[in-house]
Amino acid sequence: MDSEAKLSQKADSSFTMDDFAKALEKHDYQFQKGQVVKGKVFQIDHDGAFVDIGGKASAFLPRDEASLRTVTNLSEILPLHEPLEFVIIREQDAEGQVTLSRRQLEIRHIWERLAQMQESSQTVKALVTGVNKGGVNIEVFGLRGFIPRSHLIERDNLEALKGQTLTTAFLEVDSNNKRLILSQRMAARSANFSMLAIGQLIEGKVTGIKPFGVFVDLNGISALLHIKQVTQKFIDNLEKVFQMNQQIKAVIIDIDEGKGRVALSTRILENFPGELLENMEEVMTSAEARAERAKNKTAE
């Protein structure tokens, strides 16, 4: 190869590398969709704001992406020349401009907050915005969610729930699939559990009579009065002692909120074996004093 050809090849090679470098300059590959970046707003117009994020070209924040809430004046939430965080929602166009969002960043933070609330078994206030066959649509911190009919306390007249704010617990928090499912019944049960304590005298309604014991409703919590805890005397048939919907008083002897179980005792109220069978009305009438006496005995 003669020297002229070599020079020509070198020139071509050099030109190609320069061309490649210029092409790289036009595109900032450090910016990717979903990435959180810091920047400063330097200009606001009717359609949105221009932001300096350190790229070759300024980034753009559309008006609709400025906030989760409706904003009339962008300058109120986008102070000029102050460091702010944004998330990239569209990568560079032909001019090297990326599209930013503050709204999507807010949504991301809310999902993270909801996941933390679920983790620590907190409740959350949910605004009912609509109704369908399966339950009610709700809004929490600006995000849409759902409460199934089976997890509502009021299941018959869902229309009446529109506009109401309900205290709810978390069933599902899935940011990837945008699924937020809540339960009003679970929150109510949890609140009721927090009011219960071992040794406490409660009053409830008999909702079931089985060979092994009696089920008692305590404001939405189902408690069990086991046959061995009814009386100090042997008993073979609970249906002879209790009736459905009967109001009874009993002492809580065990609580397992995780499994949703509460164990009761009436035998602890007896002055002598079989007193409950002989005179239940007397035991129930003076149950408070009897429960206090039993508590003092346990403390001794």
pLDDT at 265: 95
Query: φ and ψ at 104, to 5 degrees?
Result: -65, -30
d(C-alpha 187, C-alpha 225), whole Å: 24
pLDDT at 17: 59
Give mean pLDDT in consecutive 10-residue pieces for the chain, a chain of 300 residues: 49 54 54 90 93 86 90 88 93 86 94 94 94 94 94 89 94 94 89 87 94 90 93 92 95 85 94 93 94 75
pLDDT at 25: 53
pLDDT at 220: 77
What CATH code would you report for 197-299? 2.40.50.140
pLDDT at 22: 56
- Of 140, 85, 96, nearest to 118 (Cα)? 140
Task: Give the strand pairing for 135-140 and 124-132.
Answer: antiparallel
Residues near 5 by beta carbon (within 8 Å), at least 6 away in sequence: none
Structure tokens belonging to residue 178 = 């945008």
pLDDT at 170: 95
Taking the chain, what is the end-to-end CA distance rounded to the nearest angstrom? 109
229, 185 in Cβ contact below 8 A? no
Beta-carbon count within 10 A of 64 CB: 12
d(C-alpha 300, C-alpha 296), whole Å: 6
3-class DSSP state for residue 86? Answer: strand
Fold match, 36-101 / 108-190: yes
Length of the chain: 300
Domain 108-190 has CATH 3.30.1300.10: no
Domain 36-101 has CATH 3.60.10.10: no
pLDDT at 7: 47
For the chain, what is the mean pLDDT? 87
Per-residue pLDDT reduced to its tens digit, 56-91: 778 999 999 999 888 888 988 999 999 999 999 998
Q: Where exactly are the structural domains of the chain? A: 36-101, 108-190, 197-299
Residues near 113 by beta carbon (within 8 Å), at least 6 away in sequence: 141
